[in-house]
Every structure is written in C-alpha cells, then in structure tokens.
Amino acid sequence: MSPYRFDVVSLFPNAFDSLIELGIIGRAFSKKIAELQVHNPRNFTTDRYRKVDDVPYGGGVGMVLKPEPVFKAFESIPNNGRRRVLMMTPQGRPLNQKDLQRWSKDYDQLIILCGHYEGFDERIRTLADEEISLGDFVLTAGELPAMVVINGVLRLIPGTLGAKESVLEESHTDLLLEHPQYTRPAEFQGMVVPKVLRSGNHSAITLWREKQRESRTKIRRPDLYSQWLFRQKIKIRDKSDCD
C-alpha cells in the first residue's frame, strides 16, 4: 500500500522541517505511513531575481503572488491517485473535524497551497477544490494552517495512533467534547478522582463519561450542543418511523 501523500506549495519549505520530527507525526513519516513533499514556487521562476510576487492591478498596499510560478509548481506534482487540492486562506470555510476525517478516508493525496504577502492572484484559486481557514483571523502566511491540516489528517490514518478507540472517543468526533480524564494518584492537592472511575463498573463508567461529555459541551460549546440535540431528535424520529 502506497503511503498517503502530502504536497505543499510554499515559499518557506524549511517551515515544515519540524513537522517531520514531531513525536507521533514524525514517527508516522519515518514509518512511511505518509510522505511530505514541499514545492517552492521560486524554483519555477524564469527571471534572474526569482520573482514570485508583483503589485496588484488597480493599486493597493502590499504584493500579490503571481500565477505563473504557482501554476508551474502545482503542475510539477505527480498524481498519487485520489487527490484533493486545498487553499489555506482567511476567506475559506472554517476547518472542522469532519473535514479531516473526510480527507483521511476519501483521498490518498492532499495538495495544499500556502499564501503569503497580500494573498493569491485570483486565478490561482481555480486550482483549489476547497478553500480552508482556521478561523476568523489572519496570519502572515499559510504554512502554519497547512501544518495543522497535515497533523489532523495524518493522525487519523491507520497506523499513526496506537488505539483506534482514542480517535473514536475524542472531542468533535460526534459533536460532543471529550469527557474528563484522570490518572494516578487518586487524590492530589485535595482534588479526588471521581469514585465511579475507580469502581471497576464499566457500564457505570461509560454512562458517567457520556453524561460528562454532554454537560461539558452544553457549558463550553452551546453551539455544538444544539447541533447534537438536533441530531438526537432526528435519530429518535427515524427510529420511531422504522418501528
């Protein structure tokens, strides 16, 4: 089985050096579960100054990434099968866990376009299947968001994490946040691990954790809790229709 392939178009290839050495993610790369290739548009310029940006038509502050070197860098990337092209931009749709799950299961290759300066020439957007943002804020470049996507997708690919259950039970998998976690000692500075977790009663533990997930989500993320309640109502309705 071929490794999952990440291709990044970036003016700062060295920014990704730390990613391939980072704990679980670094080990996944070393085990050939995935591979990462970074393509610098500067290597595809034709002028002596290796120019990748220019002033915007119509005037304005800052510089805009030119289409020619970005297109050439993109066109140099081999096709690894089922692939998806992402553009990291503040104008994109906010990233969520379901995106990471979808990209890890439905594709064998992600191509990620990283912006810089005042953004992309609009024609570069035609390369992207999806435009993605980390949130309603602006960073200086797209490398950090790209690393977030790579980390989030790679940890879902089989072989990266040891236990499948750790992926199934974590926050945002089913809209609910993760339940509280404890380890030894049972008491620390007057704070005691809940008795139910020390009971050995697995059905009671499961029920407690589920209730904690619901209450924690309701308090911390009422928006997600509302979505979860809506889904529960649909499930109940569908079940009653089937009965």
Half-sphere exposure of 200 (CA within 13 A, CB side): 0
Cβ neighbours around 178 below 10 Å, total: 15
**What per-residue confidence (pLDDT) applies to 179?**
92
pLDDT at 21: 87
Q: What is the pLDDT of residue 194?
A: 96
CATH topology of domain 169-242: Trp Operon Repressor; Chain A (1.10.1270)
Task: Kindly report the pTM of this predicted structure.
Answer: 0.87
State both tokens at 148: 């977030």
In tens, the pLDDT along 52-68 reads 999 999 998 899 999 99
**114-123, 162-171, 192-201: segment of lowest average pLDDT:** 162-171
> Helices H, strands E: what count in the chain?
7, 9
For residues 164 and 169, give the distance between their C-alpha atoms in angstroms, rounded to a whole number: 9
Instruction: Kindly state the helix (H) or strand (E) to which residue 227 belongs, with its residue range.
Output: helix 222-242
Main-chain dihedrals φ then ψ at residue 140, nearest 5 degrees:
-75, -20
Mean pLDDT, the chain, whole residue set: 93
* Tens-digit pLDDT profile for residues 118-163: 889 999 999 999 999 999 999 999 999 999 999 999 999 999 997 5
Q: Give the mean model confidence (pLDDT) for residues 35-50.
A: 96
Q: How far is CA 80 from CA 8, 76, 102, 109, in A?
A: 14, 12, 17, 6
pLDDT band at 99, cuts 50/70/90? very high
Q: What average pLDDT does the segment 70-84 reach?
A: 96
> Residue 171: CB partners within 8 Å, gap ≥ 6?
97, 177, 178
Give me the CATH code for the 4-154 domain, please: 3.40.1280.10
Q: pLDDT tens, 126-137?
A: 999 999 999 999
Query: With 70 as the cut, is the pLDDT of residue 92 above it?
Result: yes
The pLDDT score that the predictor gives to residue 167 is 55
Nearest to 45 by CA among 67, 23, 61: 67
In the prediction, which pLDDT does 235 show?
86
pLDDT of amino acid 215 = 97
Predicted confidence at residue 6, as pLDDT, reads 98
How many CB atoms sit inside 10 A of residue 77's CB? 17
Per-residue pLDDT at 112: 98
pLDDT classification of 198: cutoffs 50, 70, 90: very high
pLDDT in tens, 205-230: 999 999 999 999 999 999 999 999 99
User: Residue 185, SS3?
Assistant: coil
Say whether the peptide bond before residue 185 is cis (omega within 30 degrees of 0). yes
Neighbours of 174 (CB within 10 A): 13
| Helices 143-154 and 97-106: angle between axes, nearest 10 degrees | 70
Q: How confident is the model at residue 165 (pLDDT cuts 50, 70, 90)?
A: very low
List the domain boundaries for the chain.
Answer: 4-154, 169-242
Helices 23-30 + 143-154 axis angle, to 10: 70
Percent of the chain exceeding pLDDT 90 equals: 84
> Of 165, 157, 166, which Cα lies nearest the Cα of 33?
157
> Is residue 200 scored above 60 in pLDDT?
yes
The runs of H, that is alpha helices, within 82-221 are: 97-106, 143-154, 164-168, 202-220
Residues making up the chain, counted from first to last:
243
For the segment 94-111, the average pLDDT, to the nearest whole number, is 97
